[in-house]
Structure 1
Amino acid sequence: MTRLLPALFLLIAGLARADEGMWTFNDFPSNLVNARYGFSPSQEWLTKVQLSAARIAGGCSASFVSPTGLVMTNHHCVRDCAQQLSTAQNDYIVKGFYAASAPQERQCPAMEVNKLLRITDVTNVLTKATQGKEGAAFRDAQRAEIARLEKECATAPDIRCDVVNLYQGGMYNLYQYQRFQDVRLVFAPEEAIAFFGGDPDNFEFPRYDYDVAFVRVYQDGKPAKVDPWLRWSAKGAQPGELTFVAGHPGGTSRLLTVAQLLYQRDYALPERLFQLAQLRGLLDEFQQRGPEFTRISNSLKFSVDNSYKALVGRREALVDRDFFSKKVAEEQKLRDWVKADPERQKRYGQAWDHIARATDTLRAMRIRLRLLEQGAGAGSDLFVYARLLARSADELSKPNEQRLKEFADARKPEVEQQLLSPAPVYPKLEEALVTFYLTKLREQLGPDAPVVKRVLGTQSPQALARKVVSGSRLASPQVRRQLYQGGPEAIRASKDPMLELVRTLDGEARAVRERFEEEVESVIDQNGELIARARFEAYGTSTYPDATFTLRLSFGQVKGYSEEGKTVEPITRLAGLYERATGEDPFRLPPSWLRAKPRVDLQTPFDFASSNDIIGGNSGSPIFNKDAEIVGVVFDGNRRSLGGDFGFDEASNRTVSVHSEGILEGLRKVYNARRLLEELGRGGGG
């Protein structure tokens, strides 16, 4: 792994180098871009790009590509929607979907699209609210102030506001979004072409995927009017061309302390990988039961497989000795600077030790925290609905500033959309997931643990799972709505077995969460602020914060790389797709692409690599040129990018995108999607 992670990672002490950086829009280094590429993005350009970018609340990025609410993203970002709209007789994952007319566009049961309107610095407000406080007092004061700020900002149901922690607590920004909860599917290709090559090709390059999809946002039952929006490039991505990516990277860990990295390396990542491997085995067995079992579990299987491969890459980065020694040296350099001055030592010197002790506390409680709170239910939809209902009965009766953060007034539309979604629930899959969860609960806490005894009694995990799933009525959106609108009394009076299961767990779940927030999270937040101030004092603010699933802008160029002495060219072509096809999964082309082979131009660019700095969450981001014209859509990174959670290497980290010309060639000659082409301004032959 050493050869995959050479010594080009971010140095805390220096400016971000080369094409590195996931920059915020209110602190973008236009001068750095100008020095490297001779183009300096203006404030007008940045504002246009910001307002043209979009976020899919479930964990992806997107962009507005027409004035009538058309949104471009990845197929794998609309996969859940396509599956939820499918039936055994009409599987859109297998067949694909295209709305040739407006009435054919179908509403996604549980999708929300966000558009970032403005960013406000609220650092001083948060710092003043928590000044002089520690532990529970710090947490409570911070929670109350965040709830107040978000409620004050969210002036209408279609406005979403989030206070975002940047630089590990060194800065807080308030992000205000316009939210669209009426999102309709317009186009999604067959999965066989969107994920061509499957897991073997995942996080690899060269690549031949048509991982693109289109949805539309609606307001008051009509397509939303959008301005600005991104237009299509005339030629698409060209080798060496300057490219930008505007998207929502989910999270990076480039500013964590060594103690936090050790926890990730030795506990969090190995245990998460072990759980994913077991869940993947369960799903493999589940899918062997028949085609319908495969259909209803495919989205979850895709997510598990993708997460497993990504986390393997992250852990490999942390076990690379050269890389980890550099992280240790970076931290020691800053600590030595602090120690060199008695006043600095007094202000900042103990922060690293406090965080180290907090991670020791986390290590001791991690299993209970994961099983009872953060990973409870193992992905069961019924369990999620039951917990939302049970906790809403308790939380919504409290003052806004005292609630769990997910039940604050500003988050109410989000909770209601999730709780009242008409997405189908699959009882057989639910039973398998709840069985898995209860088995892990007994296995890891032990059969004599009081909470395990209360939950299982004399029943086996499988027997109890079958009972609570078959007996629950929470699969019905109408039932959930009645309970929610009935308020605390109706929810508490319900004897639904899934609600009963959640209630049995909830006392200990809340207790372990309370301890985590008081003894771990608040300590890390408070001392992270101190380290961030020391870093600012030592090095300035000329670097970027870790990713937080908020809008960021990266720059780079269409660029290949060297691997094992071989040059990897930056652009693949349609001819390579057909040459790579074998007729067997995962290299099997769908019939539509086989029929279209005589019509398509085999020299059309299909996928391409660029040196933009991205991470998970950037999927679906637009990649565009200096004229803010789309040249593709981001869908992946290469294998060498998997360590990007902890650092960036311009020599080999690559973003992988579908080329804009490849997208058009498919729409025109494979799918005959005239309506889409005309809306994109690329109707006819050009």
Structure 2
Amino acid sequence: MTKKILLSVFLLPATMAFAQQYGGMWIPTELNEKEMKDLGMKISAKDIFNPQKPSIKDAVVQFNGGCTAEIISPKGLLLTNHHCGYGQIQAHSTVENDLLSNGFWAKNMSGELENPGVTVDFIVDIKEVTNQILEGTDHLTEPELSKQIAKNTEVYKNSQKTEPYQSISVKSMYYGNKYYAYTIETFKDIRLVGAPPQSIGKFGSDTDNWVWPRHTGDFSMFRIYADKNNKPAEYSKDNVPYVPKHYLPVSIKDKNENDFTFVFGFPGRTTEYLPAIAVEKIMTEIDPAKIAVRDVALKTLDEKMRADNATRIKYASKYASVANYWKKWIGEAEGLKKSNAVQKKVMYEGSLVSKNPEIKSTIDQLNKLYTDQAPFALNNAYYTEVIRNAETLKLAGDYYNYIAAVEAGRMDEKELAKTKSKLAAFYKDYSGELDAKVTAKLLALYANKTAPQFLPAGFEKYKNENQNIQNIEEISKNSIISGRSEVNGTSLNKDIDKAFSNQDKLIKTLKKDPVYQLYVAMRDTYMAKADPQFTSMQAKIDGLQKTFMAQQMSTDKDRKFFPDANSTLRVTYGKVKGSSPRDAVSYDYQTHLAGVMEKYIPGDYEFDVPKKLIDLYSKKDFGNYKDKTGDVPVGFTATNHTTGGNSGSPALDANGNLVGLNFDRQWEGTMSDINYDPRFSRNIMVDTKYILFIIDKFADSKWLIDEMKVVK
């Protein structure tokens, strides 16, 4: 029976294959309310987003420009993922006081830790402003089109009255066919309240990343502080906890399969309206190239991190960041193949052409452009990933930009201070000796995988990895960029101010630096041989994609369209659900604390378990946080359509109560950024019962529970 059902999915007409099935990242002012209520939602769209009255949107914030977080108390208590707060937890950690390993829990508000530079953004209002932004652009082409849009955007923003702590951001949707304005309110005093040890918050680490079943307590807690008038302010000891317009009640009710749920947050980027040729190139060329580069970097870092505790702490956040998308791209490429994404796109394009023959010309032009761009796009993928993951070359790029700014007269005192601050922060968590090995291996990969026309003269000498390790180590030793050689009487990684005390000497030394010269040779070749062609063709592709998007929306009247994610506030919805990602493999929708104990490996980097958690489990000391099985639920899955940026997003029930904290997707469905498929696509959430259990029973921080409204 199951085989017949699955087969029928592939035999559906192309238009049916794209019918809405819970997927979508909806602008909260344009919700698909009827379908949400049909699926079980009990509240209204106005309860979710209302600029005139308190609504759920007043409890959802963008955390530090990337993740999502939510307010869960009347005193500004903020919940987000452990991996979203990881950088702040790491910043407060030392070898002697390792908060990553030990966790941190303030005993009261006076013990909460300041985090300079961290912000949270509220969305106060959203307005469609397409007519204002596209005024006078009907017959314009690039670059005049972009100039007029930029001019119109500034005119619109300047016409709006805002407070000093507010800003207006205008965002393009549907590839420039529509525009929306967001009024943003930014708070700047954000303090760390609590975080479990990484043996809970990062349990399973890289092995379990992107996979299900999952047993990670991926949460951390912060608090928003405001001035005495409850307005945003810079950090001050006189600031007080922010009183929100709305905060989320926290539910510890049991979950059942097919319960309605929705996720509210800031998804980063999706590309669901691409032509078939683009999806094919991603699946067969671009993703494999990026995976190959990060595979080399991660293996080299992992070897050193396992052997040396100081390196583990120094590189923990960076390693996790590199590994995150490495694994995602692996799942994405496999998922695109498994879900037959390219063929589905081809069928859909055929159905569009049958309704509107003009679309054929657009698709033909896109096919030719993507084919012509392919070798340049592949070089772009290898080059950008090598420079990003060979940190010494990345540093050389920063110094290249610094020298360019100085020589162009753009390096004033303010810019110099920013540059030095950025470099000092980078050196804090950088090892020139370790990265010399990473760089050597990546140069060998680049030399062997890149077509000869894209390589600098003489670059074939880097093809032998073993020779590279010796050669790059020697170069690194004699480099001021790596921090292993001195300039102005010091090294750049020890005293950045002294190193910059004589900038003329610094620049002359940098230009002779062997790492700098290697970077310049690679950059100059890339900029001459690949970037202009790649960029020029991409501009043409982007213009045609706008036309293709408009044609899809005007031709396919049966399909419900929503704009691709672009880090703006969105709502997605679905049902609590398990999955059957492969033949004879079925997953339940819920995991429990028993599964943590099953995975437990004493002393392991990824699967160790704190003694106190073992004791709580052994004694079955679960308090109010066990479910109908008698165990504490840890995580659950649903069909919500999420992506990066949704990390930390609240998962809410039919009544708008917090039931989970979104932190990941199931590996088999990571292709949902390009091709959402309800058969495979699942988002993964920490259960609120587990969050409160850890806060209450493990951390002995019931004072935080007492702030919340707990729905039993």
* 1:91 pairs with 2:119: no
Verify the 8 A CA contact 2:277 2:342 in the aligned structure 1.
Answer: no
Shift of 1:672: 0.5
Alpha-carbon distance change, 65 to 182 in structure 1, aligned in 2, over 3 angstroms: same
Identical positions, percent: 21
Other structure's SS at 1:115 match = strand
Aligned to 1:22: 25
Alpha-carbon distance change, 314 to 18 in structure 1, aligned in 2, over 3 angstroms: same
* 1:522 pairs with 2:529: no
C-alpha distance in 2 between matches for 1:268 and 1:605: 39
The residue type paired with residue 174 of structure 2 is Y
* 1:596 pairs with 2:596: no
C-alpha distance in 1 between matches for 2:443 and 2:584: 50
Verify the 8 A CA contact 1:377 1:383 in the aligned structure 2.
Answer: no
Aligned to 1:548: 566
Shift of 1:478: 6.7
Other structure's SS at 1:618 match = coil
Other structure's SS at 1:469 match = coil
Alpha-carbon distance change, 266 to 144 in structure 1, aligned in 2, over 3 angstroms: farther
List per-residue Cα deviations over 1:622-641 (Å, max 9, x = no partner). 11123322111112222332
Alpha-carbon distance change, 531 to 446 in structure 1, aligned in 2, over 3 angstroms: closer
C-alpha distance in 2 between matches for 1:622 and 1:191: 21
C-alpha distance in 2 between matches for 1:639 and 1:229: 34
Alpha-carbon distance change, 105 to 386 in structure 1, aligned in 2, over 3 angstroms: farther
Alpha-carbon distance change, 71 to 280 in structure 1, aligned in 2, over 3 angstroms: same
* 1:198 pairs with 2:200: no
Shift of 1:274: 1.0
Alpha-carbon distance change, 446 to 649 in structure 1, aligned in 2, over 3 angstroms: closer
Shift of 1:52: 1.8
The residue type paired with residue 238 of structure 1 is K
1:537-686 aligned within 5 A: 537-540=554-557, 542-562=560-580, 564=583, 568-583=587-602, 585=604, 586-597=606-617, 598=619, 599-601=621-623, 603-681=631-709
Query: Which entry has the higher C-alpha Rg, 1 or 2?
Result: 2
Aligned to 2:627: none
1:241-260 aligned within 5 A: 241-260=259-278
Aligned to 2:230: none
Which blocks of at least 5 consecutive residues in structure 2 are unaligned? 226-232, 463-467, 624-629
Aligned to 1:215: 222
C-alpha distance in 1 between matches for 2:375 and 2:601: 50
Verify the 8 A CA contact 1:369 1:512 in the aligned structure 2.
Answer: no
1:441-480 aligned within 5 A: 460-466=471-477, 467=479, 468-470=481-483, 471=485, 475=493, 479=497
Alpha-carbon distance change, 318 to 652 in structure 1, aligned in 2, over 3 angstroms: closer
The residue type paired with residue 27 of structure 1 is E
Aligned to 1:427: 431
Shift of 1:255: 0.9
C-alpha distance in 2 between matches for 1:274 and 1:423: 26
Q: How many residues align?
A: 662
Verify the 8 A CA contact 2:90 2:100 in the aligned structure 1.
Answer: yes
Q: Find 1:354's aligned residue among 365, 376, 379.
A: 365
C-alpha distance in 2 between matches for 1:35 and 1:481: 65
Aligned to 1:184: 191
C-alpha distance in 1 between matches for 2:539 and 2:125: 27
Shift of 1:95: 1.2
Verify the 8 A CA contact 1:420 1:480 in the aligned structure 2.
Answer: no
Shift of 1:269: 0.7
Other structure's SS at 2:96 match = coil
Shift of 1:295: 2.2
The residue type paired with residue 63 of structure 1 is E
Verify the 8 A CA contact 1:362 1:520 in the aligned structure 2.
Answer: yes
Alpha-carbon distance change, 352 to 10 in structure 1, aligned in 2, over 3 angstroms: same
1:163-178 aligned within 5 A: 163-178=170-185
CA RMSD of aligned residues (A): 4.4
Verify the 8 A CA contact 1:422 1:477 in the aligned structure 2.
Answer: no
Other structure's SS at 2:9 match = coil
List per-residue Cα deviations over 1:226-277 (Å, max 9, x = no partner). 5233323343452143211002222223211112112212211110111121
Aligned to 1:406: none
C-alpha distance in 2 between matches for 1:436 and 1:148: 50
Aligned to 1:104: 111
Alpha-carbon distance change, 422 to 502 in structure 1, aligned in 2, over 3 angstroms: closer
C-alpha distance in 1 between matches for 2:397 and 2:125: 32
Verify the 8 A CA contact 1:560 1:567 in the aligned structure 2.
Answer: yes
* 1:33 pairs with 2:36: yes
Alpha-carbon distance change, 157 to 629 in structure 1, aligned in 2, over 3 angstroms: same
C-alpha distance in 2 between matches for 1:482 and 1:550: 39
Verify the 8 A CA contact 1:390 1:503 in the aligned structure 2.
Answer: no
C-alpha distance in 2 between matches for 1:126 and 1:395: 33
* 1:310 pairs with 2:328: yes
C-alpha distance in 1 between matches for 2:6 and 2:653: 29
C-alpha distance in 2 between matches for 1:491 and 1:115: 43
C-alpha distance in 2 between matches for 1:374 and 1:169: 28
C-alpha distance in 2 between matches for 1:248 and 1:635: 13
1:223-302 aligned within 5 A: 223=240, 225-236=242-253, 238-239=255-256, 240-302=258-320
Verify the 8 A CA contact 2:341 2:675 in the aligned structure 1.
Answer: no
The residue type paired with residue 589 of structure 1 is V
1:71-150 aligned within 5 A: 71-108=78-115, 111-128=118-135, 131-134=138-141, 136-138=143-145
1:314-353 aligned within 5 A: 314-320=332-338, 322-339=340-357, 345=358, 349-353=360-364
Alpha-carbon distance change, 260 to 422 in structure 1, aligned in 2, over 3 angstroms: closer
C-alpha distance in 1 between matches for 2:608 and 2:277: 46
Alpha-carbon distance change, 393 to 52 in structure 1, aligned in 2, over 3 angstroms: farther
C-alpha distance in 2 between matches for 1:91 and 1:40: 44
Aligned to 1:404: none
Aligned to 1:402: none
Other structure's SS at 1:24 match = coil
* 1:534 pairs with 2:551: yes
Shift of 1:508: 6.0
Verify the 8 A CA contact 2:650 2:661 in the aligned structure 1.
Answer: yes
Instruction: Tell which deviates more after alignment, 234-243 or 182-191.
Output: 234-243
TM-score, reference length from structure 2: 0.80
Alpha-carbon distance change, 312 to 303 in structure 1, aligned in 2, over 3 angstroms: same
Shift of 1:141: 5.3
C-alpha distance in 1 between matches for 2:70 and 2:240: 15
Aligned to 1:403: none
List per-residue Cα deviations over 1:126-153 (Å, max 9, x = no partner). 5456544445555555566667767877
C-alpha distance in 1 between matches for 2:492 and 2:158: 30
Shift of 1:449: 7.1
Verify the 8 A CA contact 1:110 1:418 in the aligned structure 2.
Answer: no
C-alpha distance in 2 between matches for 1:655 and 1:309: 16
Alpha-carbon distance change, 575 to 286 in structure 1, aligned in 2, over 3 angstroms: closer
Aligned to 2:376: 365
Aligned to 1:43: 46
Alpha-carbon distance change, 369 to 609 in structure 1, aligned in 2, over 3 angstroms: closer
Verify the 8 A CA contact 1:5 1:323 in the aligned structure 2.
Answer: no
C-alpha distance in 2 between matches for 1:11 and 1:24: 26
The residue type paired with residue 24 of structure 2 is G
Instruction: Tell which deviates more after alignment, 582-591 or 470-479.
Output: 470-479
Verify the 8 A CA contact 2:397 2:519 in the aligned structure 1.
Answer: no
Other structure's SS at 1:530 match = helix
